[in-house]
Amino acid sequence: MSGRAWGVLFVLCGAIFLEGVDVAMLNVALPSIRADLGLSTGTLQWVMSAYVLGYGGFMLLGGRAADLFGRRQMFLFWLTVFLLFSGLGGLATEGWTLILARFVTGVAAAFMTPAGLSIITTSFEEGPQRNKALLVYSGTAAGGFSIGLVVGGLLASADWRWVFFAPVILSFAILLTGAALIPKSPRPDRGGQGMDVAGAVSVTAAILLLVLSVERATHAPAAQTALTAAASLLLFLAFALIERKTSAPLVRLGIFRSGSLVRANLAGLLFAAGFFGFQFIIVLYLQELRDWSTIQTSFAMIVIGIDAILSPTLTPKLVDKFGNARVIFGGLLLAVLSYALMLPLGLDWTYLMMFPSLIVLGLSFSLAYGPLTIVATEGIDEEEQGVAGGLLYTCFQFGAGLGLSSATAAIDAATDGTGPQAMLDGYRAALVVPLVAAAIAVLVSVFGLRGRSGAAAAEPAAAGPVLESAETSR
């Protein structure tokens, strides 16, 4: 890999690192935000879910925009929007303002992330080089999450608003570096194709209503919940019909003929649901039941960050030897084990009693996340790489939103009364949510094992990355 190739990869890793840091820092700051702004558990969940909905709901549109309007242009423009609304979140004095800022920040990430991923998948030849780049990329995302846990705890202990201001500084540095290093390229020939706005609106509304129906299931009339869920399903059906009829679909339905792509997206959705739901429960348990500080919670959770070390070092070797599908399957099995180990959670558990679950979850993430990214984009035509990346990250964020709302619903349903034991009962019941999600993901991934060693390591590819600068046309 040339120095220019490493430079571009460095910038794109910086962006995904930023996304991981942003989410992780907010996660450990949630109790401080609740205390300062006086938010309920449901509203607090929406501080996280608003970002998830903006991210997941507009990801498909973001992926398509990268393919149609240029990956570099989309990446840099929406990184700027991300910067501005991160700063606005830090200035919020009301819950609704913070939720709105998080939603727009999520929309910005929805355009920025698939653009960055598709720059990698179109700049590195499919095979060992692309796999290496993607595993470094996923390892950096994991590193952002791990470092964000600690940094977020430190910043929140001073003032939670710094959790929003710190990404402003980082994103500004990435913006300047990206403008200098990412090669300019001709604007893609769209052939008269426009944006599928109707498809984007319908699928975003469908996701919003589905998550809302799950979140309100325990404290809203059954008829109202059923109506919301039905409206969500109708919107998903409308989305499918729109995509079938339009001349420029947001997602070409034929892309779903790839069994490996479908399995990777379903497994990614379920894995994210379990992972985000689990961390939400554990943070609340440590800080609100055990009275741990944000710094203590951050250092307790950082062990999950072992994936930042293993993803670019151990995982590539395992992929070369066993293939992506088998490595993914092993990672998902470890997730089931991790969540099962935490089920007997008690009022007086020591950190050593929680440690096995947390370290196993870090191992699980290192094995599953990177290979899922590879499988979800492998064999896809270059002009649809943005859409493929958008699909994967939509599933990650959709899964995260469902995991958070399902965990919240489970806590509310199982918490009968007040006091430590009632709170513990709620957390224990909610821990079943990530366990079930991971178990279903294992069943989905089983079908990938029937292929040729899970589409093992790709054939050796051309020696160098395709990162030559092209003539720009603005």
Which of 29, 96, 56, 6 has its CA nearest to residue 397? 56
The structure's pTM equals: 0.77
Question: Who contacts 381 (Cβ-Cβ below 8 Å, separation ≥6)?
Answer: none
Residues 6+ apart with CB under 8 A from 416: 422, 425
Could you give the C-alpha distances from 139 to 131, 300, 311, 413, 443, in angstroms and in order?
Answer: 12, 20, 5, 36, 25
Per-residue pLDDT tens for 33-48? 888 888 777 678 778 7
Q: Do residues 375 and 325 touch, judged by C-beta distance below 8 A?
A: yes
Q: Rounded distance, CA 156 to CA 234, Å? A: 41
The whole-angstrom separation of Cα 25 and Cα 4 is 31
pLDDT at 460: 39
Phi, psi torsion values for 78, nearest 5 degrees: -75, -20
* Residues 13-48: b if buried by 16+ CB within 10 A, e if exposed: bbbbbbbbbbbbbbbbbbbbbbeebebebbbbbbbb
Give the 3-state secondary structure of residue 167: helix
> Which CATH code is given to the segment(s) 1-183?
1.20.1250.20
Domain boundaries, the chain: 1-183, 197-249, 257-447
Q: Report how far residue 472's alpha carbon sits from residue 316's, in angstroms, rounded to the nearest whole number.
A: 35
Q: How far apart are the first and last CA of the chain?
A: 28
Can 1-183 and 257-447 be said to share one CATH topology? yes
pLDDT per residue rounded down to tens, the chain (474 residues): 667 777 888 889 888 888 888 877 887 788 888 888 887 776 787 787 788 778 777 777 787 788 788 888 899 999 999 999 988 988 888 888 899 999 999 899 889 988 888 888 877 777 777 878 888 887 787 777 777 777 877 887 788 888 899 889 989 999 998 888 887 766 666 555 666 778 878 887 887 787 677 766 666 788 888 898 899 999 999 998 998 888 778 778 888 888 888 999 999 999 999 998 998 899 889 988 898 887 888 788 888 888 878 887 888 889 889 989 999 999 999 999 999 999 999 998 999 999 999 999 999 988 998 899 888 888 777 777 777 877 887 788 778 778 887 888 888 888 877 788 888 999 999 999 999 999 999 999 998 776 544 444 443 333 344 444 333 333
Q: Rounded to an integer, what distance in angstroms lies between the CA atom of residue 373 and that of residue 369?
A: 6
| DSSP designation for 188 | P
Q: At a CB cut-off of 8 Å and minimum separation 6, what does 110 contact? A: 54, 55, 56, 57, 58, 59, 61, 62, 390, 393, 397
CA atoms within 13 A on the CB side of 83: 16
257-447, what's its fold? Growth Hormone; Chain: A; (1.20.1250)
The torsion angle over the Cα atoms of residues 298, 168, 117 and 473, rounded to 10 degrees, is -170
Phi, psi for 277 (deg, rounded to 5): -65, -40
In sequence order, the 6+-apart residues with CB closer than 8 A to the CB of 201 are none
Partners of 473 in the β-ladder: 186
Phi, then psi, of 32 in degrees rounded to 5: -65, -40
Q: Kindly report, residue by residue over 325-376, the tens digit of the pLDDT.
A: 999 999 999 999 999 999 999 998 999 999 999 999 999 988 998 899 888 8
Structure token digits, residue 45? 């969940």
